[in-house]
Amino acid sequence: MKTYVVAALPVYKMEDVKIVEAVEADFVELRLDYMDKLEVDLDFLERFKDKVILTIRDVREGGVKEIPDEEKEAFLRELHRRGFLYDVEASFLERRRVEYKGKIVSAHYFNSVPSVDELEKTYEKYKEAFVVKFAVVGRGNYKGVLASMLKYDNVAVMPMGVPPLERIAFSILGSRLVYGYVKEPTAPGQMHYKALLEVLKILRNY
């Protein structure tokens, strides 16, 4: 299965989106939770629909600005109506009814390592997603927990706060997504997406 390289881009204002066309990754994740107000020109983004992942990350899962659930739900519903790919937290789906089939469903564990059973239950609930993504702090038995989920074709796993090469290692083992950054890291352990592409190119041609 193909591993997609995702270049994460903080969006402070719509002007920041203009560089998407020049980014050579498979996807560009637009992190909209960096905006003071969720004012997004979806008409402008239509031409990048096949390239962007829109994310409003919850503050409790690594987001920057707090976006009310009602506003986030309405925005995600509009994204679904218009056929955009987005990333939504499993925890948000527990609170709000938003479409997740064919989207990215994520769960972040910054302070503790979950059990394999916990991740299995989340996967089973949202297995119709395009990708179910688990990000786990790099401590304890995190490697074994993350590796255990790679038996599924549509799972992405990534350790946080560890050397970036560990993320590459998990992509080689089968993680469907591997994240780098465009301008600044949006999560612990990211490397620049161009460096990520270069390493993967070398490994794939070995």
Binding residues: 29-31, 57, 167, 186, 190
How many whole angstroms separate alpha carbon 146 and alpha carbon 99? 25
Binding-site residue ranges for 3-dehydroquinate: 29-31, 57, 167, 186, 190
Verify whether residue 133 is a known catalytic residue: yes
Query: Which is the catalytic residue, given 121, 133, 143, 151?
Result: 133
Query: Which is the catalytic residue, given 72, 80, 103, 108?
Result: 108
How many whole angstroms separate alpha carbon 8 and alpha carbon 159? 16
Task: Determine how β-strand 131-137 pairs with β-strand 155-160.
Answer: parallel
Verify whether residue 108 is a known catalytic residue: yes
In the β-sheet with 191-192, what is the strand arrangement from edge to edge? 155-160, 131-137, 104-109, 85-89, 52-55, 27-31, 4-10, 177-181, 191-192
Q: Which residues are catalytic?
A: 108, 133
